[in-house]
A and B are shown apart, each in its own frame.
Chain A
Amino acid sequence: AQRVTQPEKLLSVFKGAPVELKCNYSYSGSPELFWYVQYSRQRLQLLLRHISRESIKGFTADLNKGETSFHLKKPFAQEEDSAMYYCALRDAGGTSYGKLTFGQGTILTVHP
């Protein structure tokens, strides 16, 4: 069975500080990993997917298959980054037809 773990429910940093939101997964197949973000009073939206290997809003995430991790990083946090962040996994090669498995989410608060 696939599982996604986000060990931190809450994470607080000051503006300008580096931030890292942790995500670990367990899955025996070929996973595709995502980060979704939900800002206050907005809907859940895709932030990053590992196959794109791009930086969005200054965030990056690298899939580490050896450590089964997909941590989200940003070198200099901004107040507008405050939000709920979800790590999610999808089976890229099997028969799950696209369903996502989510972690519990991390609430990031960036203080001025």
Chain B
Amino acid sequence: EAGVTQFPSHSVIEKGQTVTLRCDPISGHDNLYWYRRVMGKEIKFLLHFVKESKQDESGMPNNRFLAERTGGTYSTLKVQPAELEDSGVYFCASSQGGLAGNQPQHFGDGTRLSIL
């Protein structure tokens, strides 16, 4: 079984530019989560999809961040325009099950985003 896949593994962009991160969950996993670890801080929840619907986006930092999951398969996280404080590692995780989300979450390798 292929694991959670994230693209790119590393992205370096200048402040003000746009970046799009992609996550391919494990096939058949309805739940998809985005997390972020900013340097020196803990991994923090950003949002949760159940299939194509946003179930919880309480962790999204501001409206410069836009997440989508068209068709309930892969998801994208776009940052526009990027700011210096957006630098960090962005993790995607997926799990089986429906709304309860009580299955273990499987993580991708993460995308390291560096804003110059």
Contact = CB atoms under 8 A, between A and B. Distances in A.
Interface of A: 4, 32, 34, 36, 43-46, 49, 86, 90, 92, 96-105
Contact of A97 (B4, B43, B100): B100
Given A96-B56, A99-B48, A104 B41 contact: yes
Interface string B72-114: 0000000000000000000100010001111111111110000
Nearest to B102: A98
A43 B109 contact: yes
Contact of B59 (A4, A43, A49, A99): A99
Interface size range of chain B in the complex: 20 to 34
A27 to B, nearest CB: 14
B44 interface: yes
B3 interface: yes
Name A's interface SS: strand
Given A43-B107, A43-B109, A43-B110, A97 B45 contact: no
17 contacts: A34-B104, A43-B4, A43-B109, A43-B110, A44-B107, A44-B110, A49-B104, A86-B43, A90-B102, A97-B99, A97-B100, A99-B33, A99-B56, A100-B33, A100-B43, A103-B42, A104-B42
Given A100-B43, A102-B43, 13 more contacts: A4-B42, A32-B102, A43-B110, A44-B91, A44-B107, A92-B102, A98-B95, A98-B100, A98-B105, A99-B56, A99-B101, A100-B105, A102-B44
Contacts of A97: 31, 48, 50, 55-56, 99-101
Contacts of A102: 35, 42-44
A93 to B, nearest CB: 10
Nearest to B3: A43
Given A98-B31, A98-B95, A99-B56, A45 B107 contact: yes
